[in-house]
Amino acid sequence: LDDVYGSPTEETRERYRALADAFERAYGRAPSGFARAPGRVNLIGEHIDYEGYSVLPMAIGLDAVVAYGVNETSGKIRVGNANPEYTEKTFETSPGQDVDTSSLHWTNYVMCGYKGVFDFLEESGGKSVEPVGLDLMIDGTVPTGSGLSSSSALCCASALAVMSAHGLSFTKGEIADFTCKCERYSGTQSGGMDQAISIMGEAGVAKLVDFNPIQTNDVYLPENCAFVIGNCLAVSNKAETAHERYNLRVVECRLAAMVLGRKLGMSDEEVVETQTLQDIEKRVGNMSSAKAAAEEYLHDGYYDAREIEEIIGVDAFLDVFSSPASKAVLNHNVTGYKLLSRTLHVYSEAGRVHLFAAACAMKVDPAELGVYMNGSHESCRALYECSCPELDELVDAFRAAGALGARLTGAGWGGCAVALVSMDKVQDVLSQVGKTYYASRIANGVITEDDMSAVLFATLPSNGAVVLKTTSF
Ligand code: GAF
């Protein structure tokens, strides 16, 4: 635990003991190990990972822990939770089985991790492994629906537990690579940032994460500053918002790329092959030309499906609307697709990530970082429309309290905001925002005074995922 948590508190040790006890009560023996994977806070670079662009998150101390043990006789995967509010479930050990997306059960993320391991084995042509019966008991401290990536923490910890129970070991890069994809089995066509940082995170540094292939570079944050996280208390559940919002954005970005591609002279075949807005940047050579093309060729407001089909052609249209992301969109009442504003967000946000990383490397005045964070929030709010009134209010409260900058973090539409605060102002900001944002919510019974330390807190970069093969804490 020392290696994972730095100096673990007695509370942390007690948490592991309690999880081991819960495992023993449910399955009649001690677990053989624990896999833990952290949540994350994204400092900058929102909704651009699935467009191929780099993002800048850090792992946080909140995490999902999976106690595991092989069950020689059951031939099943039994999944329990130390928190009795989460109902248990049992699955067959068939590695090929799809994750049941007809229900939004929390164990779907466990099964994403499970399927991810076996799909990776098959794709990589490695040795064939006989699946064993498994007993799992979970404990999570990342608040669900908060934008701090509780679902990815669970996917990644589950994947590690499954690997360890089957005696498998892969490189960190391989694990990051397949966990990035495996959460998509739950229905959300997420980009990979959350799993990448959960696996690759390290205490003391944020990571600039590049995709295709996944690579990370350390980013040292200003020493005289801290990041403060505040939960706006509007729920942003990935599973629930996936269909209408997240996947719709994924579809809008691909449509925008295809429309741009066509306007730039692409053939039918090339349009079908166009996946991301980064493909357009590559075609025109650089970001400012890509942005200029968007401004010239895309119109403001909504496109309807027929207009898009006329531009991109029927093959491309069918390709988009048979993709996993679009299935969800088709099931809902989507009035139209905004292509210009989504594109301008993606290109400008991708630029801000590199400005932020360069400013950290050059150790400039941290106020500059705050400016990029504020710019990012404004772009998310106005262009990408992934904020909500509560997040806007919380971000304003952080700035009014003296934060250098603040923005929503994660998918948005609720969940958390992150603020950059000078070390000597952290207490002031906590107390001011406590008054301006949270006091009325305590008065209205939305939360209690006791919840405050869980909804508003300073955080530092933490370690990534790990397997602990011990039961003595
Ligand atoms: C969610 C997704 F899982 C990430 O991949 C990312 O797209 C993020 O939303 C928005 O930046 O957390």
pLDDT digits 0-9 by tens, 10-61: 999 999 999 999 999 999 999 999 999 999 999 999 999 999 999 999 999 9
- Ligand 1 site, residue 51, Cβ cutoff 6 A: no
Q: What is the mean pLDDT of the chain?
A: 94
- Ligand 1 site, residue 411, Cβ cutoff 6 A: yes
Q: What are the residues facing 424 on neighbouring strands? A: none
**Which helix (H) or strand (E) covers residue 177, if one does?**
helix 172-182
**Which helix (H) or strand (E) covers residue 218, if one does?**
strand 215-219
Return d(Cα 192, Cα 276) in angstroms, integer: 14
Tell me, what amino acid is at 378?
E
- Ligand 1 site, residue 346, Cβ cutoff 6 A: no
Q: What does the pLDDT read at residue 334?
A: 80
148 CA → ligand 1 middle, Å: 10
Tell me, what amino acid is at 5?
Y
Q: What are the residues facing 81 on neighbouring strands? A: 138
How, if at all, do strands 456-459 and 76-81 pair?
unpaired
Q: For ligand 1, what atom is nearest to the CA of residue 147?
A: 12
Q: Whose CA is nearest to atom 1 of ligand 1?
A: 411
Q: Is 227 helix (H, G, I), strand (E, B) or coil?
A: strand
Q: Do you find a cis peptide bond into 95, omega within 30 degrees of 0? A: no
Rg over alpha carbons for the chain, rounded to the nearest Å, is 22
Return d(Cα 183, Cα 200) in angstroms, integer: 17
51-55, 97-101, 329-333, 408-412: least confident range: 329-333
Q: For ligand 1, what atom is nearest to the CA of residue 149?
A: 12
- Ligand 1 site, residue 190, Cβ cutoff 6 A: yes
Return d(Cα 247, Cα 184) in angstroms, integer: 11
414 CA → ligand 1 middle, Å: 13
Question: Mind telling me the catalytic residues?
Answer: 194
User: 242: pLDDT confidence band, cut at 50, 70 and 90?
Assistant: low
Q: What does the pLDDT read at residue 240?
A: 56
- Helical spans, DSSP H, in 264-313: 268-273, 277-284, 287-297, 305-312
Q: How far is CA 331 from the centre of its chain?
A: 24
- In sequence order, the 6+-apart residues with CB closer than 8 A to the CB of 348 are 291, 375, 379, 383
Return d(Cα 354, Cα 98) in angstroms, integer: 38
Provide the whole-model pTM. Answer: 0.96
- Ligand 1 site, residue 193, Cβ cutoff 6 A: yes
Q: What does the pLDDT read at residue 245?
A: 87
pLDDT above 70 covers a percentage of the chain that reads 97
Span 197-221, average pLDDT: 97
Tell me, what amino acid is at 131?
P
pLDDT above 90 covers a percentage of the chain that reads 86
Is the model's pLDDT at 429 over the cut of 80?
yes
